[in-house]
Every structure is written in C-alpha cells, then in structure tokens.
Amino acid sequence: MPRAAVLSGLGAWVPPGTLTNEKLAAELDTSDEWIRTRTGIGRRHIISAGMCTSDLAVEAGRRALESAGAATVDYLLLATTTPDRLCPATGPEVATRLGLGTIPAFDLSAVCSGFLYGLQTGRALVLAGLAESVLVVGAESFSTLVDPEDRNTRPIFGDGAGAVVLRAGHSDEPGALRAVNVHSDGSLAELITVAGGGARARAAGDDRPAHIRMRGRSTFMAAVSHMEAVTRQTVDEVGWQLADVDRVVGHQANVRILHSLVKHLGLPESAAIVHLHAVGNTAAASIPLALHHGVTTGRLGVGHRVVTPAFGAGATWGAAALVWPDVKVLPG
Ligand code: UT7
C-alpha cells in the first residue's frame, strides 16, 4: 500500500477574551443584526495584552500532540500571517516551548489558505521520507492587524489556533490525506492587503500602520468560485463523486460563502460545518478550529468523507480530502 501522510492528532485553542457584536456596535457604525445576517458571526475571541500568536500556537500544538499520543515530531510548520515579530520566525519558539528540541521549525505565510499550504508541505516531507511525523499549526492574532475604526474588517476577524499531527502511514487508512491541492494567483493580490509595515512601505518611507484592507464583495465572489473549483478538483483526484462527500469543512470567512459553496456543489446545507458564529474568521487557524468544532459537537464523525476548501489573500486557495479518523480531542 502506498505511503501517505495520516492525520493522527487534532488540537485547538482560542484565547478566553471575547468581543461580541453588541460591543462592536457600541464602538463602530454597525449592528449585531448586520453582522449576523451578512456574515453569520456572533462573536470572536481576542488575545489579551501580553499574549500573542506563539501563545495560541503552543496551546493548540500541545493539544494536538496529546491527541496523537506523540511526545515529539520531526518537523513543526507554523502557518501564520501574524507572527509575533517580523524576525525571527515564530515557529522555532513554538517548537522550543513544546519541548520538541532542535527540530526544523519554520513559518509559512499563505493567509487564509495557510493551513492547507502547511498540510501540503508536511505531507510532502512525509511522502519524500524526510519525516515520520509533522506538527502543522495554524495560529493567528488577526485582531492586531485590523484597524479598530474599520467596520469592513474589524467585525470579521478573530484570534485562535488549531493544529494537527501528520504521521507516516498508508493511503487506505482513515486519516490519510488522500489528495491536497493548493493554488495561487498574484494578479488578485489587491483583494486583501496590509500595505503598511512591509519592506515596500519601508523602502518608500511610507509609515502607514499595518492594517488589513479587504475588497469584500470581489473577495466573496472569488472565494466561492475558487473554493468550488478546487473542491471539484480534489474530489475527482480521490476518485469520489461529489455526492460521496459527507462534510465540507471550509474556511470560515462568511456563512453565506459556505452555504453558497455547498449549493454550487449540489450538496445539502447540512454538509457544511459552520463554526464562525463563535470565532469569526481566524485565517490560517480557521480550518483546524472548524474540524475541532465538528468533532466536539458530533457533526464530524469517524468515516465521514471530508473536503476542506479555503480561499484567501494572495490570492491563495486549496483543499484537502480525507476520510475522518478516530482521533480523540481535548476541549479547545
Ligand atoms: O478570509 C479571506 C477571505 N475573505 C472573505 O472571503 C470575505 C468575503 N467577503 C465578505 O464576507 C463580505 O463581502 C463582507 C462581509 C466583507 C461584506 O458583506 P457584503 O454583503 O459584501 O457587504 P458590502 O461590502 O457589499 O456592503 C453592503 C453595505 C454597504 O452599504 P451601502 O453602500 O449598500 O449603503 C456597506 O457600507 O453594507 C455596508 N456595510 C456595513 N454596514 C453595517 C459594510 N460593512 C458594514 C458593517 N455594518 N460592518
């Protein structure tokens, strides 16, 4: 049986602080009703002073290792757009704090598709025989990137982390990543940007703050069409029919995107796992947090055929397909 990267552990963690729609409505020209009906979001978790992305990543990573029953791994990949610092990468600190010794650890930046880029990279290391196990973490503190006065972005984003352990196994096992596809198109870069804070801004003497800006409507349309296409590609590659898919655990940006996606795929609304009401859009953490939510609520069960499409800034997009394995998870 061919070698495969097999999902063998899952962990999630969100910081305790919450920001409700009501609180946002007291500070911005918005309302609970607008946010709920246009996005599906009810609240988001926000880091407290002194906390950062590494803290979230360590908590989720520890839970994933425990879930897998693994004391160590060969690599740690941290998907994040909100590293603790521009330099050095946050991955090595996370690995050290998890007691993983001097294993290779690095950051990966693909924004809302970051977790899928992490899965693909971890899978490639396993398939190449360079690793027997990999910890893939998606962790974000997007609350540090939003302009507190921007009603277009502040209600959308939240903080959190999710992680999985991949181990070497066989392609017919539950949990085997049966297919992973990732894509990018830099011509769509202007859809979602953080103009301030990068080398381009520094070189130009531009000292604007590092705030995220999003062309919401165009991003919405691109998200639905690219997530649909990559889901079809991934399901085809595995040899499934769309009707075989039990759960779509998609990037949690907007409930209308998730419902539109499953409708385009000809699947019932109930196939979509929806978690954004409680956490908002957590970028690279979004899919592992939604997987964790699915398992802990019983909506995602052993044997389910799962596809995980995402779309985000870059533009980047992708999807993975697997049969859900019997993984024990701790509360997030
Ligand atoms: O994570 C990466 C991928 N990201 C996404 O996939 C996000 C995709 N986009 C979206 O989810 C949606 O486009 C948003 C939630 C960001 C916006 O929803 P929309 O239905 O596309 O709204 P819109 O931007 O077209 O704005 C509609 C109206 C506008 O007013 P007018 O021009 O019609 O008078 C906005 O000014 O809603 C207004 N508006 C708001 N009103 C109250 C925009 N934001 C708000 C707000 N509260 N927070």
Q: Which tens digits make up the pLDDT trace of 179-190?
A: 999 999 999 999
217 pocket-lining for ligand 1 (C-beta < 6 Å): yes
Predicted confidence (pLDDT) at residue 211 exceeds the cutoff of 90? yes
261 pocket-lining for ligand 1 (C-beta < 6 Å): no
Spacing, Cα 109 to ligand 1 middle (Å): 25
pLDDT score of 304: 98
Dig out the tokens for 32 from the structure: 């609970």
Dig out the tokens for 66 from the structure: 């425990």
DSSP type of residue 230? H
List of residues 6+ apart from 125 with CB closer than 8 A: 74, 75, 131, 134
pLDDT band for 142, please (50, 70, 90 cuts): very high
39 pocket-lining for ligand 1 (C-beta < 6 Å): yes
CA distances from 53 to 22, 59, 284 (A): 26, 10, 11
| Residue minimizing CA distance to atom 17 of ligand 1 | 216
Spacing, Cα 196 to ligand 1 middle (Å): 22
What are the DSSP calls for 75-94, one per residue?
Answer: EEEEE-SS-SSSSS-SHHHH
- Taking a C-beta distance cutoff of 8 angstroms, is the pair 40, 274 a contact? yes
Tell me how far apart the alpha carbons of residues 122 and 133 are, in angstroms, rounded to a whole number. Answer: 8
| Residue minimizing CA distance to atom 4 of ligand 1 | 253
pTM to 2 decimal places: 0.98
Q: Which atom of ligand 1 is nearest to the CA of 222?
A: 6
The pLDDT tens digits of the residues spanning 60-82 come to: 999 999 999 999 999 999 999 99
Domain range summary for the chain, segments of one domain joined by +: 3-170, 179-323
Query: What value does the mean pLDDT of the chain take?
Result: 97
Tell me how far apart the alpha carbons of residues 99 and 107 are, in angstroms, rounded to a whole number. Answer: 18
158 pocket-lining for ligand 1 (C-beta < 6 Å): no
Predicted confidence (pLDDT) at residue 267 exceeds the cutoff of 90? yes
- Taking a C-beta distance cutoff of 8 angstroms, is the pair 173, 325 a contact? yes
Predicted confidence (pLDDT) at residue 331 exceeds the cutoff of 90? no
Q: Which of 116, 149, 220 to mutate to test the pocket of ligand 1 (most atoms within 8 A of CB)?
A: 220
Q: Which atom of ligand 1 is nearest to the CA of 283?
A: 1
**Mean pLDDT along residues 113-133:** 98
pLDDT band for 330, please (50, 70, 90 cuts): confident
What are the DSSP calls for 6-39, one per residue?
Answer: EEEEEEEE--S-EEEHHHHHHHSS--HHHHHHHH
**Span 179-323: which CATH code?**
3.40.47.10
Tell me how far apart the alpha carbons of residues 140 and 313 are, in angstroms, rounded to a whole number. Answer: 14
Spacing, Cα 194 to ligand 1 middle (Å): 18
| Residue minimizing CA distance to atom 21 of ligand 1 | 217
Q: Which atom of ligand 1 is nearest to the CA of 251?
A: 1
pLDDT band for 332, please (50, 70, 90 cuts): confident
Residue 6's nearest CA partner among 156, 141, 119, 142 is 119
- Taking a C-beta distance cutoff of 8 angstroms, is the pair 311, 223 a contact? yes
Predicted confidence (pLDDT) at residue 256 exceeds the cutoff of 90? yes
Predicted confidence (pLDDT) at residue 327 exceeds the cutoff of 90? yes
CATH 3.40.50.20 given to domain 3-170 = no
- Enumerate the active-site residues: 112, 251, 281
The percent of residues in the chain predicted with pLDDT above 90, rounded, is 99
**Mean pLDDT along residues 109-117:** 98
> Same fold for the domain at 3-170 and the one at 179-323?
yes
193 pocket-lining for ligand 1 (C-beta < 6 Å): no
